[in-house]
Chains A and B, each alone.
Chain A
Amino acid sequence: MTPDANTISLGGHILAFLVRATGEEDFERDRLDGESLSKKLLDWADSAARWDERDEVAAELDWRAAIATVADEVALGLVEEPGKWEGMLRVAALHLRSVDTSGHPLAGETLKRMPDGSELKTVRLGLLDALVRTLLPRSTSARRAEFFVTLNDWDIWRKVVGSLDVLTPSVAEFAQILSSAHQFVGHDLAAGSIIDPLLEWASRNPRVPRQAVECWRRGELSCQSVNLDVVAMLVETAVAARGADGDILDWRDSLIKDLRSRSNEESWRLAAFISCFAWPTEPPTSTGVRHTALIEQVERLPERLVGIGLSAMRRDAQEHPEAALRTCARLLAFLGPEGSATHASAAVGIAASALRSDRVGALDLELLKPLLPTLLTSSVEGSRLDSFLASLAKLDLVLTQVFLENWFEKNATAVRQSGASFAEIFSSLARELGPEREGEWVLRLALSPRRTIRALGVTLFVRSTTVGAIESHFDNLTEKEAQALCHLLAWSGAPGANWIFSVLKLVSAHPSIVDTARPILLTDAAANFPGSCAKAVQKWRQANAKSDDQNLARLCDDLEEELQRLDMIHKKKFAVAELVATRPATSEWFRQQQRLLDVTMRRAHERSIMMQLARRMPIARGGGTTMHSQQVEPTELKEVSGSMEISVAEFVDPLSARIVRMDHFQRADALLSRISEAT
């Protein structure tokens, strides 16, 4: 089909639109113009396709060719200015992507219901793809290089790697594209959508990766930013594509030898990686052979190379879980218990991947045992411990629970300082366990015979957002355990709202412990958390309106009486002028508190993704706000505030409060020790 005058005119319009839209930002105008041009382009392509007169395949070919013709004209206008390509392609992707219409043969399945009741479907114009496929080949490699180095758009990158067949890059250019693409995707999970097509193209052109590596070895690549990961990909692709060709293996070995002879650690790491993964795929090379080759490389300098070995195993863990676990254990053994701790996060990643692999049902959990000491040293942040435990829990709950207890013991301080609940630390595991079992586990931690675990368990108890699930297991406790738990909750130092009702529930489940609970409620709880006490009693009364539990009813009565007495004392105190007038530190303390709150708020804003995404506009004053150009009702401003009841004793006399709390812990300790001795 030959473009006529209309075609040229449409291409020219589109080019002019792209130039204007990238020069002056006016989204609303560009949207409207884009819609109009898209419709014209669709009409033009439809007129070329003549859908009614021909079969659909031939018509579609002409339809796409018509789009390509327009794209070609646009490309002609752009070819000299690679610095503007990305901007214009983005505009095309945004405003000239599709047209909503009805009854078009190329329309997608998704229906759009319009305000007037009509239903439209989207026709994708494919202009971006056509533009990339015409623009790149028309340009010179130097201009393309300029474009690739700065290209920062996932859509355009996908179109670029999809156009390699028409581009047919040279060895150097391919290396450059791969390098730029690798730099752009980084460690993004979607990296494969760009890197894989590149490598797939390379495997179809096996001389390209090998020659690229050679150029790299000789320092001839124009792009010096080609990093070792890219080289590894190239070597891997070259070796895999050549099958069992003896020459390619010799070439690989000579490369490894060359890398090993270099006096730089990066090269040794590359050598180790290549030795594991640069193997022919047809016939497949056994993991045993590959891992042995890897271990030989790592053995040369384990302190530096175990990390790369573990990275390799992380990649293999999904496909070859057992071999990866075995090799992982061998690699960690090079470093001993202390040295391996620094690689705990990598080891957790391998274990997690192995457990999540398809053949997980057949995985021998004995293989995990050598790794456990290292896994225990892993922190939650930056590792896949949660994912590992969630997978492990599917296979062996007992092993998971034992591991978890030991992990908590080792990481008690960090967990306590994090302020997080069990479900926040291990969200996947908590989902896997379900609230009931999570509650049971937290309760078991809280009553652990080991003090550190117990202390942390109580902390997790009072932080739990599903306390009801924990409380549902109170019936299973022995009397001594229930008594100990009362003391431990009083020891916890948590806001009363988090534990006072649980003490009432404990008394409800074990009426015999009322003498233990009474002083805790009437002294510790009532004096320190009067508000929470009142609410707990109210909640209990509402939930047990028809209960005939006289024991607990009397306790609640006593508690209310004590609260009234304390309220009276409180009023008496404020009637003594000499007490009220002697608070010299109040305003300075308040100032310090305010400063701390400000700092905390600022840090929270810095961490908040929402605050980072949203544009922040301070409002001077008033009860509402609106933008100057909008004739709409102003947005009403509302205050958001929260409060919590903090222990009075902590505010007044923290040392005495600590001594009282320690006394509770010791009482719990004595009770639980008796249980341990008995069992």
Chain B
Amino acid sequence: MRAMIDRYVRSLKEREDNPEKFQDLGTLLSWILEEHGFLVLEKPYKHISDSLAVSKGRLQHGVDVLAVRSEEDGSEVSYRFVLKRGAFGKGQFTPDKEGSMLHDIELAASLPTTGREALHGLEPASVKVVAVHNGSVDREQIGPNLQTFLENVERRYPGRKIEWWDAERIVDLICTASPSGVGEPLEVQPSTSLFPPSIRPFFSLALHSLLPERGKSGGGFDYSAMDLVVDERLPLSSDEHLKISLGELHRSTAELALFVQMIHAECIRVSDGSTLPTMDSIEKVSCRIAEHVRRAPKGSPAEVLVSLQALVELYVDCARSLRLRLEPLTSEESGLALPGPGEVVNYPLRTLRLLGYLATAGLALALRAESSKSTDWARAKEFADTIFKIWRMNRGAAQSPITDDQIIELGLVWELWLRLGMYAEVGETAAAVLQWMAIRRVQGFRLPSLWHRARVPFRDIDMMAIVEAHFGRSEDVSSSFEDGASTILPLALYLASGYHENWTAEPLGAFSSTEEGRSGARPALFAEVWCPPADAALKWYVSGLEREGICRCIEIDDVDAFRSEFEAIASPIGESVAKELNIPVVDRFAWKLHRMPPPMSLFVDFCREGQP
């Protein structure tokens, strides 16, 4: 939390034109002061009705905020705050330059109390001038000079004390604030009061939905509120040329990252520590950031990248918590199943969803390790091993996807194992998926629904159709349920035939059509490969490309011919922004979020590289 707050603090401008909507250093400082018992007399904004507006035209004499506080000894002390944006180094050490920090400090110190505090009817025992800026001080270079300057000012203006609040000090003050009113610091009990008034309702909506009365263990998390938050902060215009400014992108990115961190803290506090709302929120926020970076002119601020990396790191941390919680169940048969109504559908959905998070986190580490840190390999391997253990004890779920778009989760798992060289596991599980699909078909069970999407949250109407189909075997299921084709089938076949040592084509017989028998004729199951458009990587942060690309039917009777055809049609696609930024896991977030199958070229590339 502290790091996220730090990034947020550093992202703020000294003053925004619309403090109602956008936080600036002044509004944040006012919040801090009020939380710490100051009475703020002069604010950098004014109230118009219930809204905040920028306060301009006031004669400041360097003082941006004037506040008063009763100290522990009972004396009343006036605080004159001088605000500046950014770091303070050699370049900012310009006491003679009007408008600079040092110049304004001296100006603020020079002002008699009759000229300021008396206007508010106060006669403070002492006056403190506080230099506030949302960056660090380059103490190595200017530390002694700064100290001397401040001492001189104090000497020149008796009765004046000078304090220096840099970013670290501001973060300290925020972290120790207790806006909840129950004595819990912000780090433990998040509060949306930190944020500007206009965005607070959206944040509150999302945070309050984590309360147990809305759904046990975070089950009632309001994803639509999270969408509203993201749209409010990083709106997407249909006109790509209408971009938000880099400064705004920086601030919004940091703000959203901090809010996601708050969701995580709130989950720990009230949702039994569920990691899912946090990880889902990270996926949403990261994709939106990536889209804005894609739209931004080249050379997006490094701070944005840092926030994105921080979000990925938080995702990995959450996934690790999840992995550790699931670990004790990995030795139990059907360990991820909970007895209860609808578990026939819940269990496979849940298992593949959880495996998806673990695989994505593993990929975040593995992809990073490929380019830099080697220690991440070991962490990625931990995820990969846990996934295999879960799969082995939950075969009935992992091998029975409910929707065809769960090829995404299966693909992420297989991609992770391929990156870590776990080829035998890929072969075994891909063959098992094929085998299981064959048995399901022969035994009259439903296959993955082609047109429904395993979104989070699941759409009610989709769930109704799925449950109808799985509840009984009656023919009167919704026409929106279709399991006569599969995109999972060709991928599983490609990987099984490529990586399974003793692969046989025996299960494939179950996918061809049958004559009219005791249980009626069974049409063939069509194997289909979706080929995304060449520019898919430019679009997948905002949509699943449902109506784009080409779906190719592919014959599976002759496996060699199938493999050749599969490789021929799995053409590579263009580079993505996330890859350019060296955070390719954000692409996996996008596939998951918008339910877009991974490009099959990914798997073909592995096979072509000569493995195993």
| Chain A interfacial positions (CB closer than 8 Å to B) | 527, 569-570, 572-590, 592-593, 596, 648-649, 651-656, 658-659
Other A-B pairs, 12, CB within 8 Å; known A586-B340, A651-B341: A572-B328, A577-B218, A578-B217, A578-B325, A582-B276, A586-B341, A590-B342, A592-B468, A651-B343, A652-B337, A653-B334, A653-B396
**Chain A residues within 8 Å of B400, by CB:** 653, 655
> Does B519 have its Cβ within 8 Å of any Cβ on chain A?
no
Interchain nearest-CB distance for B588 vs A (Å): 19
> Does B436 have its Cβ within 8 Å of any Cβ on chain A?
yes
B347 is contacted by which of A580, A590, A596, A653 (Cβ under 8 Å)? A653
**Chain A residues within 8 Å of B27, by CB:** none
**Chain A residues within 8 Å of B247, by CB:** none
A590 to B340, CA, bound (A): 9
- CB-based contact A648/B339 at 8 Å: yes
Look across to chain B and name the residue whose beta carbon is closest to the beta carbon of A576. B325
> Does B271 have its Cβ within 8 Å of any Cβ on chain A?
yes
A653 is contacted by which of B328, B337, B350, B472 (Cβ under 8 Å)? B337
A652 to B349, CA, bound (A): 12
A368 to B396, CA, bound (A): 53
- CB-based contact A652/B219 at 8 Å: no
Interchain nearest-CB distance for A455 vs B (Å): 16
- CB-based contact A588/B463 at 8 Å: yes
Interchain nearest-CB distance for B389 vs A (Å): 15
**Chain B residues within 8 Å of A590, by CB:** 341-342
- CB-based contact B439/A588 at 8 Å: no
**Chain A residues within 8 Å of B343, by CB:** 583, 585, 651-652
The winner among B216, B219, B276, B326 for most chain A CB atoms within 10 A is B219
A652 to B218, CA, bound (A): 23
B338 is contacted by which of A580, A587, A592 (Cβ under 8 Å)? A580
Describe B's contact surface by its main secondary structure: helix
> Does B542 have its Cβ within 8 Å of any Cβ on chain A?
no
The 0/1 profile, CB within 8 Å of A marked 1, for residues 321-354 of chain B is 0100110110011111111111111110110011
Look across to chain B and name the residue whose beta carbon is closest to the beta carbon of A648. B339
B440 is contacted by which of A582, A584, A655 (Cβ under 8 Å)? A655
> Does B275 have its Cβ within 8 Å of any Cβ on chain A?
yes
Given contacts A574-B338, A651-B340, A655-B436, contact A582 B350 (CB under 8 A): yes
- CB-based contact A651/B396 at 8 Å: no
5 A–B contacts from the bound complex (CB under 8 Å): A576-B329, A582-B219, A589-B341, A596-B471, A652-B337
Interchain nearest-CB distance for B350 vs A (Å): 4
> Does B612 have its Cβ within 8 Å of any Cβ on chain A?
no
**Chain B residues within 8 Å of A652, by CB:** 334, 337, 339, 343-344, 347, 396
- CB-based contact B333/A527 at 8 Å: yes
**Chain A residues within 8 Å of B344, by CB:** 585, 589, 651-654
**Chain B residues within 8 Å of A659, by CB:** 439
Look across to chain B and name the residue whose beta carbon is closest to the beta carbon of A586. B342
A656 to B400, CA, bound (A): 10
**Chain B residues within 8 Å of A653, by CB:** 334, 337, 344, 347, 396-397, 400
A656 is contacted by which of B273, B396, B472 (Cβ under 8 Å)? B396
Look across to chain A and name the residue whose beta carbon is closest to the beta carbon of B400. A655
**Chain B residues within 8 Å of A658, by CB:** 443
- CB-based contact A584/B349 at 8 Å: yes
- CB-based contact B274/A581 at 8 Å: yes
The 0/1 profile, CB within 8 Å of A marked 1, for residues 208-252 of chain B is 000000011111010000000000000000000000000000000
> Does B157 have its Cβ within 8 Å of any Cβ on chain A?
no
- CB-based contact A592/B471 at 8 Å: yes
Look across to chain A and name the residue whose beta carbon is closest to the beta carbon of B459. A584
> Does B395 have its Cβ within 8 Å of any Cβ on chain A?
yes
Interchain nearest-CB distance for B541 vs A (Å): 25
Given contacts A576-B326, A580-B216, A580-B217, contact A589 B334 (CB under 8 A): no
A186 to B276, CA, bound (A): 71
A154 to B175, CA, bound (A): 94
- CB-based contact B346/A573 at 8 Å: no
- CB-based contact B445/A585 at 8 Å: no
Look across to chain B and name the residue whose beta carbon is closest to the beta carbon of A658. B443
Interchain nearest-CB distance for A599 vs B (Å): 11
A651 to B396, CA, bound (A): 12
**Chain B residues within 8 Å of A576, by CB:** 325-326, 329
> Does B207 have its Cβ within 8 Å of any Cβ on chain A?
no
**Chain B residues within 8 Å of A575, by CB:** 272
Look across to chain A and name the residue whose beta carbon is closest to the beta carbon of B326. A576
A655 is contacted by which of B267, B322, B335, B439 (Cβ under 8 Å)? B439
- CB-based contact B219/A589 at 8 Å: no
Given contacts A578-B322, A582-B346, A656-B395, contact A573 B457 (CB under 8 A): no
Interchain nearest-CB distance for A411 vs B (Å): 16
**Chain B residues within 8 Å of A581, by CB:** 215-219, 221, 271, 274, 276
Interchain nearest-CB distance for A572 vs B (Å): 6
Look across to chain A and name the residue whose beta carbon is closest to the beta carbon of B465. A588
**Chain B residues within 8 Å of A596, by CB:** 471-472
A584 to B439, CA, bound (A): 25
A573 to B436, CA, bound (A): 26
- CB-based contact B329/A589 at 8 Å: no
A579 is contacted by which of B336, B445, B463, B471 (Cβ under 8 Å)? B336
Given contacts A583-B346, A658-B443, contact A651 B339 (CB under 8 A): yes
**Chain A residues within 8 Å of B561, by CB:** none
Look across to chain A and name the residue whose beta carbon is closest to the beta carbon of B275. A578
> Does B524 have its Cβ within 8 Å of any Cβ on chain A?
no
**Chain B residues within 8 Å of A593, by CB:** 341, 471
A596 to B440, CA, bound (A): 24
**Chain B residues within 8 Å of A584, by CB:** 345-346, 349, 457-458, 463
Interchain nearest-CB distance for A581 vs B (Å): 4
Interchain nearest-CB distance for A271 vs B (Å): 43
A573 is contacted by which of B329, B342, B353, B466 (Cβ under 8 Å)? B329
Interchain nearest-CB distance for A116 vs B (Å): 62
**Chain A residues within 8 Å of B457, by CB:** 584
**Chain A residues within 8 Å of B350, by CB:** 579, 582-583
A431 to B612, CA, bound (A): 70
A587 to B457, CA, bound (A): 14
- CB-based contact A577/B271 at 8 Å: yes
- CB-based contact B342/A588 at 8 Å: yes
Look across to chain A and name the residue whose beta carbon is closest to the beta carbon of B318. A578
Interchain nearest-CB distance for A191 vs B (Å): 43
Given contacts A653-B397, A655-B396, A656-B396, contact A583 B436 (CB under 8 A): no
Interchain nearest-CB distance for A532 vs B (Å): 14
A654 to B445, CA, bound (A): 9
A658 to B276, CA, bound (A): 33
**Chain A residues within 8 Å of B485, by CB:** none
Interchain nearest-CB distance for A354 vs B (Å): 37
**Chain B residues within 8 Å of A578, by CB:** 217, 274-276, 322, 325-326, 354
**Chain A residues within 8 Å of B273, by CB:** 577
Within 8 A of A (CB), among B355-411: 395-397, 400
A654 to B396, CA, bound (A): 9
- CB-based contact B329/A569 at 8 Å: yes
Interchain nearest-CB distance for B464 vs A (Å): 6
**Chain A residues within 8 Å of B424, by CB:** none
A377 to B567, CA, bound (A): 58
A593 to B218, CA, bound (A): 26
10 residue pairs, one from A and one from B, having the closest CB atoms: A589-B342, A653-B396, A577-B217, A585-B342, A577-B274, A585-B345, A581-B219, A577-B272, A656-B396, A582-B350
Interchain nearest-CB distance for B249 vs A (Å): 32
**Chain B residues within 8 Å of A587, by CB:** 342
Look across to chain A and name the residue whose beta carbon is closest to the beta carbon of B454. A584
A576 to B273, CA, bound (A): 9
Interchain nearest-CB distance for A401 vs B (Å): 29
Interchain nearest-CB distance for B595 vs A (Å): 15
**Chain B residues within 8 Å of A577, by CB:** 217-218, 267, 271-276, 325
Interchain nearest-CB distance for A631 vs B (Å): 47
- CB-based contact A585/B466 at 8 Å: yes
Interchain nearest-CB distance for B416 vs A (Å): 19
A586 to B344, CA, bound (A): 10
